[in-house]
Copies of this chain bind each other. A is one copy, B any other.
Amino acid sequence: MEENAVDSPRVASAVARMRACGERVTPARHAVLRVVDLADRADEHLTAEVIGARVFELAPSVHRATVYRTLTSLTEAGFLSQVHLGGASTIYHLDAPGAAAETDPADAASGPAVEGPPAAGHAHVRCISCGRVLDVPPNAFDSLAARLADGIGFALDPARTALLGTCRACRADTAD
C-alpha cells in the first residue's frame, strides 16, 4: 500500500532513513515530505501554512494540525530543516542525508560541529520589496562566520535564517 512509486529519490531516502530511525512513516508524514520535496525542486519556499494547504490538496484526509505536528517532529528528528525568514514566516526544506541532528546537541560527538564546513544547506536572503526568497551559496557567509567565531566565539549557522535586503529588480524600481 505504499504509493512510493512517484517518490523522488530524496523522499525515498528520507523515508528510508526515517524507518531506520524508528520513525513511523504515515500517509500524513509521507505527504508532507512529498510537498516539501516538490517545493524544493521548484525553488519554492513554503511556510507551514502553505504546506498545510498543499498537503490538504494532495491528501484531504490529513488534518492541518497534523501537518504542524509533522513539520515539528520531522524537523526535530532531522529530516526537515526550517529557515526563519525575517518577519514572521518560517519555511521548510527537505534535509539531505549526511547532515542530520544539530537539534540535539547531546549526541554530537562524531563530527566537527563548529570549525568544519557548513556541510549541506544553502543560505537565503529575502527581498523586502517583493518578498522573493533567493538562494545564496553557504560559503558566501564564510568570512562573516570566521569573523564572528574569531571575534566573539559565536558559531554562525547561516542556513537557519534569511537576511533581508532588496533584490536587483526591486532596486531598479526604487531607484527610479
Q: Which residues of chain A have a CB within 8 Å of any CB of chain B?
A: 84, 86-88, 90, 105, 108, 113-115, 125, 127-129, 134, 136, 140-141, 143-144, 147-148, 151-158, 160-168, 171, 173-175
Contact = CB atoms under 8 A, between A and B. Distances in A.
Contacts of A153: 167-168, 171
Contacts of A113: 174-175
B157 A165 contact: yes
Contacts of A167: 152-155
Contacts of A166: 114, 154-155, 157
B161 A114 contact: no
Closest 9 CB pairs of A and B: A153-B168, A84-B86, A86-B161, A156-B165, A105-B174, A160-B164, A155-B166, A143-B143, A157-B165
Contact of A152 (B87, B115, B168): B168
Contacts of A87: 84, 90
A88 B153 CA distance: 25
Contacts of A141: 144
A119 to B, nearest CB: 15
24 contacts: A84-B86, A88-B88, A105-B129, A113-B174, A113-B175, A114-B171, A136-B148, A140-B144, A140-B147, A143-B143, A143-B144, A148-B165, A152-B167, A154-B166, A154-B167, A154-B168, A155-B166, A156-B164, A156-B165, A157-B164, A157-B165, A158-B163, A161-B163, A163-B163
